[in-house]
Structure 1
């Protein structure tokens, strides 16, 4: 019987695997639907105590992020799609004033 590596998914073909395969660990969901995040993951992300996390569903994957990581990700997305270089708030106010002037 072939031993499974912790770092390689068994259902992915070599062509579909990313350059860096994420570290994984098997966990159990209890009767109340709770999952314990392994201590080494919590240490790596500096998650402490009763800290809130952001949970997202991406395809067949549940992803947990710290609020600061989720914010940084959203800011990166906005930066990629921004056209101007000024303040988004100032641009929004100017657009609304222009609409009001046309009415």
Structure 2
């Protein structure tokens, strides 16, 4: 779906209400903007986290011992905290 969104002179833009509702942004919220070769991609926080988790899984091979939490736990144990 392509939707035209106008940008005000001060750089603000408004997402249409139906899109905000579908994305769960009804009470406001943050979106993350990625600039790509093809244009701009907006993601909700949940979408950004899911994307980061998928990328991490690619690089860790899905091994739990390679997770950030496991790394932080090992580091905490090593430092005696």
TM-score (norm 2): 0.72
Q: 2:44 aligned with 1:50, yes or no?
A: no
Partner of 1:76: 54
- Unpaired segments of 5 or more residues in structure 1? 1-22, 98-103
Q: CA RMSD for the aligned pairs?
A: 2.2
Deviation at 1:43, TM superposition (A): 1.5
Q: CA separation in 2, counterparts of 1:27 and 1:84? A: 39
- Segments of 5+ residues of structure 2 without an aligned counterpart are none
The count of aligned residue pairs is 73
Aligned to 1:63: 41
- Relative to structure 1, the CA distance from residue 81 to residue 24 in structure 2 (aligned partners, 3 Å threshold; closer, same or farther) is same
